[in-house]
């Protein structure tokens, strides 16, 4: 069975209405690619982005959701609201959410379950800090995050996991190809559906390193931050992913 290849862009807190031209620029490249192409803009642009992608293969997703279906949670967004706005996926447990909002594994599990209940694919992020890697604890940390944050029914869904070493995010540093290969293998063997689960790498993925990273057997795609803000960089990464299946 072939696992899906997924190239996902995470715009983080970037993007005003004028950024929507991006979708028209990437759609023709995405149409030629065997990879699934997903872009997660800020929530304020989600519905407009979904409309811009209507009739194209490009999908849009959220960057976070609340675990409850609705309620008195000022400023939060439910999974059903993301779905209603046109999302197919939602990023959960990004290290910036863990750091800025104190999200713990149990919160991420609850959010993942809410996402699945609303018909969204959760993209669950894991990754160690530099000090954890320097202490040789990276596999232990990531294994703990997986054990704590995978949804209850993980065995009956095809999961998307994003391995994003915290020290590689926005720094221009990437984990070595050997380190990525061994971490992705370690993640895969801890998943209930290893053969069908999709494991992305994230952390300073750029046009000039995408082919090498995406060439690894256990790397099923990329979660791209900075380079997803620029249509020509992002399409170059989509093209690198297209070569994965050649
Ligand atoms: P950069 O690609 O900017 O390093 O960000 C990675 C990331 O955090 C994607 O979720």
Cα 194 to middle of ligand 1, angstroms:
24
Task: Choose one of 62, 169, 210 to mutate for the ligand 1 pocket test, by most ligand atoms within 8 angstroms of C-beta.
Answer: 169
Report CA torsion sign: 108, 111, 115, 116.
positive
Ligand 1 neighbourhood includes 204 CB (under 6 angstroms): yes
Calculate how far, in angstroms, residue 91's C-alpha sits from the geometric centre of ligand 1: 12
* Dihedral of alpha carbons 139, 144, 149, 151, sign: positive
Q: Write the pLDDT tens digit of every residue in 106-138.
A: 999 999 999 999 999 999 999 999 999 999 999
pLDDT tens sequence across 161-201: 999 999 999 998 888 999 999 999 999 999 999 999 999 99
Q: Determine whether 164 is an active site residue.
A: yes
Query: What pLDDT band is residue 237 in, cutting at 50, 70 and 90?
Result: very high
Question: Could you tell me the distance, in angstroms and rounded to a whole number, from the CA of residue 41 to the centre of ligand 1?
Answer: 13
| Averaged pLDDT, 227-245 | 93
Atom of ligand 1 nearest to the CA of 169: 4
Question: Cα(104)–Cα(184) distance, rounded to whole angstroms?
Answer: 22
| 8 Å CB contact between 22 and 231 | yes
What pLDDT does residue 232 have? 98
Q: Specify the pLDDT at position 1.
A: 57
Residue 48, burial from CB neighbour count under 10 angstroms (0-12, 13-18, 19+): middle
Higher pLDDT, 219 or 153: 219
> What is the SS3 string spanning 178-241?
HHHHHHHHHHHCCCCCCCCCEEEEECCCCHHHHHHHHCCCCCCEEEECHHHHCHHHHHHHHHHH
Residue 155's pLDDT is 85
pLDDT tens digits, one per residue of 65-108:
999 999 999 999 999 999 999 999 999 999 999 999 999 999 99
Q: Is 184 a catalytic residue?
A: no
Domains observed in the chain: 16-225 (3.20.20.70)
Residue from 128, 211, 217, 116 nearest 164 by CA = 128
Helices (H), 118-201: 130-134, 138-149, 177-188
Question: 96, 128, 164, 184: which one is catalytic?
Answer: 164
> Could you tell me if the CB of 124 is within 6 A of ligand 1?
no
Asked if residue 2 has pLDDT above 90, the reply is no
Q: Which helix (H) or strand (E) holds 9?
A: strand 6-10
- Check residue 245 and give its pLDDT: 61
């Amino acid at each position: 069975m072939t696992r899906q290849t997924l190239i996902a862009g995470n715009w983080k807190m970037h993007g005003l209405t004028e950024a929507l031209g991006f979708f028209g620029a990437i759609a023709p490249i995405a149409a030629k690619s065997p990879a699934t192409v997903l872009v997660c803009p800020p929530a304020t642009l989600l519905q407009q982005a979904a409309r811009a992608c209507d009739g194209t293969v490009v999908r849009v997703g959220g960057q976070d959701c609340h675990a409850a279906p609705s309620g008195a949670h000022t400023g939060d967004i439910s999974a059903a609201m993301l779905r209603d706005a046109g999302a197919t996926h939602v990023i959960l447990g990004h290290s910036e959410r863990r750091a800025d909002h104190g999200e713990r594994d149990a919160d991420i599990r609850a959010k993942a379950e809410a996402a699945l209940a609303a018909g969204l694919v959760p993209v669950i992020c894991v990754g160690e800090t530099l000090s954890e890697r320097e202490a040789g604890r990276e596999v232990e940390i990531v294994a703990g995050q997986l054990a704590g944050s995978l949804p209850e029914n993980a065995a009956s869904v095809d999961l998307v996991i994003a391995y994003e070493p915290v020290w590689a995010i926005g720094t221009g540093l990437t984990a070595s190809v050997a380190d990525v290969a061994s971490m992705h293998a370690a993640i895969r063997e801890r998943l209930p559906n290893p053969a069908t689960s999709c494991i992305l790498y994230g952390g300073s993925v750029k046009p000039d390193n995408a082919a090498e990273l995406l060439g690894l057997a256990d790397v099923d795609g990329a979660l791209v931050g900075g380079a997803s803000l620029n249509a020509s960089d992002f399409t170059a990464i989509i093209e690198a992913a297209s070569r994965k299946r050649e």
